[in-house]
Amino acid sequence: MTFDLGYGTNGFANHRLDDALAVIADLGYTAVALTLDHHHLDPFAADVVKQTDRLAARLHELGLRVVVETGARYLLDPRRKHHPTLVSSDQEVRIDFLMRAKQIAVALGADCVSFWSGVGSADAWDHLKSGVAAVLESGPSVPIGLEPEPGMVVERLDQALRLRAELGNPDLLRITLDVGHCVAVEPQDAAACIRQAGDLLVNVQLDDMLPRVHEHLEFGEGQLDLPATLAALTDIGYTGVAAVELPRHSHAAPDVAARALRALRAARWLADAERAVRADPGVIDTLFPAAGRAVGAGQDAARVRLLTAFADVSDDPVDGVTRLYRYGTSAERRGVLRGLAEMGDRAPAAGVALVEDALRSNETDLVAAALGPFATRHLGRHAWRHGVLKCLFMGIPLTVVDGLDRHSDAELLRMVAAFADERRAAGRPVPADALALLGKAS
């Protein structure tokens, strides 16, 4: 059994809850992270019990697993975002809300209720602790997941674990991890955080992020290693919900959710493929070609990862990589050439043979991919200069050439100048890239 991919309803803030659930299920998600809010199952509504029962039936009908989230912005106080929290002086309002959330979770058959600490000073630690203890004691017994949230009293995993330890490691107090937050504030990557949380992980939120910037981004826009993150979830045997958390993308929710699922499926495929190659390097023969269909736009990067995994475990990586190139389509060959930058240094002679083969071709993609960092390091200077000149002939922008400025020499400039003269003599235009290279030298 594996984990369920879901989407957070706080990313569908402009949809009716029923509509949001239908869109999420239709896209192919099998879970939903339900943020209780004034328009999405208001826990303070007079008929909340009836609404909850109806929602439970709807979730069942759509085949959606559920976790309950409590991060609504203005549910408790219309003027102050997120207020009050467990570190506020009036924390009892929050405790009451979380108790209601636990009741709803039971009625929905949810895995857990997720919550965070709140913004405040470190002095509030004991106050927070007693608040968490009160949440654990009140209402039905449901796992609650403490989520480290950037800028809050508990913003890193180690703090959440310390708080839990100080409370005597209560069984029902678990961890919710937002993998984007890991990129933003943790000293280790998301995969390492997942391994550290291990069995305590009860809920996962998925999004991309940049270091030190708490802004939820679509996958690929930040620095999260999504395949490695999903692989870590599989490694620890996680079987809960992992739901996309993009609360500021509601304006385009259906499209964003569709893109996110495509990225997740591609990343999951890649994570599984890397694992398969590490277990049995021979399977790269079928996975390397399939990466194009499975991953789409990110296929070059995916193939580089497969090659790296292969080179790590294969008895004869040189022969294997050479065969992948030999029997590869243009896209596969491009993948091999890009991969040389990562793993080519282990057998430079074999890599150079492939680069030379690509430079003999007349496919712009292959010529461009051949002139990466590996060629800069290992290709003979004569062949490298001819590669650069070939780019000018074929109209390939010289930006594809790694380290062009550092490695330009008098001989290259002589060749380029002669090429420019030849073009002028024929009354044909000289490529701007050639003029720019000559201009820098003069």
Query: Which residues contact other proteins by CB under 8 A?
Result: 285-286, 289-290, 292-293, 327, 329-333, 361-365, 367-369, 393-397, 400, 428-429
Please state the closest distance from residue 428 (CB atom) to other proteins, in A: 7
User: d(Cα 180, Cα 183) in Å, to the nearest integer?
Assistant: 5
Q: Which residue, 271 or 366, is less far from other proteins as judged by CB?
A: 366
Which token pair is 267?
Answer: 């990343």
Please state the closest distance from residue 336 (CB atom) to other proteins, in A: 13
Please state the closest distance from residue 331 (CB atom) to other proteins, in A: 7
Q: Which residue, 144 or 284, is less far from other proteins as judged by CB?
A: 284
Please state the closest distance from residue 412 (CB atom) to other proteins, in A: 20
Helices (H) and strands (E) in the chain, counts: 20, 10
Q: How far is CA 85 from CA 60, 74, 91, 163, in A?
A: 32, 12, 6, 16
Q: Which residue, 96 or 365, is less far from other proteins as judged by CB?
A: 365
Reduced to 3 states (helix: H, G, I; strand: E, B; else coil), residue 213 is: strand
Amino acid at site 379: L
For the four alpha carbons of 155, 161, 162 and 163, in that order, the dihedral sign comes to positive
Which token pair is 193?
Answer: 């955080």
Which DSSP letter does residue 283 get?
G
Q: How far is CA 318 from CA 225, 379, 427, in A?
A: 27, 17, 47
Q: Which residue, 70 or 299, is less far from other proteins as judged by CB?
A: 299
Token pair 């939820």 in the structure block, residue: 216
User: Beta-strand (E) ranges in 74-207?
Assistant: 113-115, 144-146, 173-178, 201-206
Q: Which residue, 382 or 428, is less far from other proteins as judged by CB?
A: 428
Burial status of residue 333 (CB atoms within 10 A of its CB: 0-12, 13-18, 19 or more): buried
Reduced to 3 states (helix: H, G, I; strand: E, B; else coil), residue 216 is: strand
Token pair 């991953």 in the structure block, residue: 295
Please state the closest distance from residue 221 (CB atom) to other proteins, in A: 22
Q: Which residue, 146 or 367, is less far from other proteins as judged by CB?
A: 367
Q: Which residue, 395 or 439, is less far from other proteins as judged by CB?
A: 395
Q: Which residue, 212 or 428, is less far from other proteins as judged by CB?
A: 428
Please state the closest distance from residue 368 (CB atom) to other proteins, in A: 4
Q: Which residue, 45 or 436, is less far from other proteins as judged by CB?
A: 436
Q: Which of 166, 156, 228, 152 is nearest to 197 (CA)?
A: 156
Q: Which residue, 169 or 286, is less far from other proteins as judged by CB?
A: 286
- Range 155-191 burial, b when 16+ CB lie within 10 A, else e: bbbebbbebbeeeeeeebbbbbbbbbbbbbbbeebbb
Please state the closest distance from residue 406 (CB atom) to other proteins, in A: 21
Please state the closest distance from residue 291 (CB atom) to other proteins, in A: 9
Please state the closest distance from residue 396 (CB atom) to other proteins, in A: 5
Which token pair is 2?
Answer: 């594996």
Please state the closest distance from residue 373 (CB atom) to other proteins, in A: 16
User: d(Cα 239, Cα 257) in Å, to the nearest integer?
Assistant: 21
